[in-house]
Structure 1
Amino acid sequence: MKTRLVQKGDFTMVEDIHETLTPPESGFYWIDADVDDLVLLQPLFHLHDLAVEDCLSEEEQRPALEIYDTHYFIVLNSIRFDDEEIFLRALNIFLGKHYIITVTRQKIQELRAIKPQLWNEEVNSPDRFLYHLVDLVIDNYVSVGDRIEDKIEKLEEDILMNTKKTHLNEIIGLRGEILWLKKMLVPQRDVVATLNRKELRLIDNQLQKYFDDIHDNAVKIVDTFDTLRDLMGNLREAYQASVANRANEIMRIFTALTTIFMPLTFVTGLFGMNFTNVLGILEIPHADIYIFGLMGILGLCMFILFRKKGWI
Structure 2
Amino acid sequence: MKIRMVNSGVFTPIDDIQATLTAPEQGFYWIDADAEDLNILQPLFSLHDLAVEDCLSEEEQRPKIEIYEDHYFIVINSIRFDDEEIFLRSLSVFLGRNYIITVTNQKINELRTLKPILWEQEVSEPDRFLYLLIDLVVDNYFSVGDRIEAKIEKLEEDILMHTKKSHLIEIIGLRSEILWLKKVLGPQKEVINILNKKDLRLIDDQLQKYFSDIYENAVKIAETFETYRDLMGNLREAYQSSIANRANEIMRVFTAITTIFIPLTLITGIYGMNFTNMPELDMKYGYFMIIGIMATLGFGMFLIFRKKDWI
TM-score class, shorter: over 0.9
- Structure 2 residue runs without a partner (length 5+): none
The alignment's C-alpha RMSD in Å is 0.8
Q: Does 1:84 align with 2:58?
A: no
| Distance (Å, rounded) in 1 between the aligned partners of 2:65 and 2:88 | 18
Query: Deviation at 1:68?
Result: 0.4
Query: Structure 2 CA distance, aligned partners of 1:286 and 1:83?
Result: 71
Q: Name 1:294's counterpart in structure 2.
A: 293
Counterpart of 2:282 in structure 1 is 283
- Pairwise mapping of residues 1-16 of structure 1 onto structure 2 (< 5 A)? 1-16=1-16
Counterpart Cα distance in 1 of 2:288 and 2:17: 103
Q: Does 1:60 align with 2:41?
A: no
Q: Partner of 2:130 in structure 1?
A: 130
Indicate conservation of the 8 Å contact 1:276/1:282, yes or no: no
| Residues 196-220 of structure 1, C-alpha deviations (whole Å, 9 max, x = no match) | 0111000000001111100000000
Question: What's 1:267 paired with?
Answer: 267
- SS of 2:253's partner is helix
Secondary structure at the aligned position of 2:157 is classed as helix
Cα distance in 1, alignment partners of residues 153 and 266 from structure 2 = 51
Distance 1:253 1:262 in 2: 14
TM-score by length of 1: 0.98
**Where does 1:28-177 land on structure 2 (aligned, <5 Å)?**
28-177=28-177
Query: What is the identity percentage for the equivalent residue pairs of Structure 1 and Structure 2?
Result: 71
SS in 1 for 2:202: coil
Q: What residue is the counterpart of 2:19 in the other structure?
A: 19
Matches within 5 A, 1:230-245: 230-245=230-245
Match of 1:250 in 2: 250
Post-superposition offset of 1:284? 1.2
Gaps of 5+ in 1: none
CA distance in structure 2 between the aligned counterparts of 1:86 and 1:33, rounded to whole angstroms: 24
Q: How much has 1:291 moved relative to structure 2?
A: 1.0
Q: CA deviation at 1:286?
A: 2.4
What does the per-residue CA deviation read over 1:173-206, in whole Å, with 9 as the maximum and x for residues that have no partner? 1111111110000000000000001110000000
- How many pairs were matched up? 311
* Aligned-pair CA distance for 1:261: 0.5
Higher mean C-alpha deviation, range 269-278 or range 160-169: 269-278
Over residues 42-92 of structure 1, what are the superposed CA-to-partner deviations in whole Å (9 max), with x where a residue is unaligned?
A: 001000000000000011111000000110000000001124211111000
**Shift, 1:289, TM fit:** 1.4
Asked if 2 retains the 8 angstrom alpha-carbon contact of 1:35 and 1:56, the reply is: yes
Counterpart residue type for residue 305 of structure 2: F
Q: Distance in 1 between matches of 2:75 and 2:40?
A: 20
Preserved contact between residue 79 and residue 89 of structure 1 (Cα < 8 Å): yes
> Helix, strand or coil for the counterpart of 2:75?
strand
What amino acid is aligned across from residue 250 of structure 2 in structure 1? I
Instruction: Give the structure 2 partner of residue 178 of structure 1.
Output: 178
Counterparts of 2:285 and 2:9 in 1: how far apart (Å)?
101
Aligned to 2:190: 190
Which SS does the other structure have where 2:178 is aligned? helix
Q: 1:311 maps to what in 2?
A: 310
Say which SS state the counterpart of residue 269 (structure 1) adopts: helix
Worse-superposed segment, 282-291 or 256-265: 282-291
Contact 1:159 1:167 in 2 (8 A): yes
Equivalent residues of 1:277, 1:283 under 8 A apart: no
Letter in 2 for 1:33: A
| Secondary structure of residue in 1 paired with 2:280 | coil
What SS is found at the alignment partner of 2:69? coil
SS at match of 1:282: helix
Name the aligned partner's letter for residue 102 of structure 1. T
Farther-moved stretch of structure 1 (77-86 vs 46-55):
77-86
2:209 alignment counterpart: 209
Aligned mates of 1:208, 1:303 — CA distance in 2 = 76
CA distance in 1, matches of 2:234, 2:136: 31
Q: Secondary structure at the match of 1:281?
A: helix
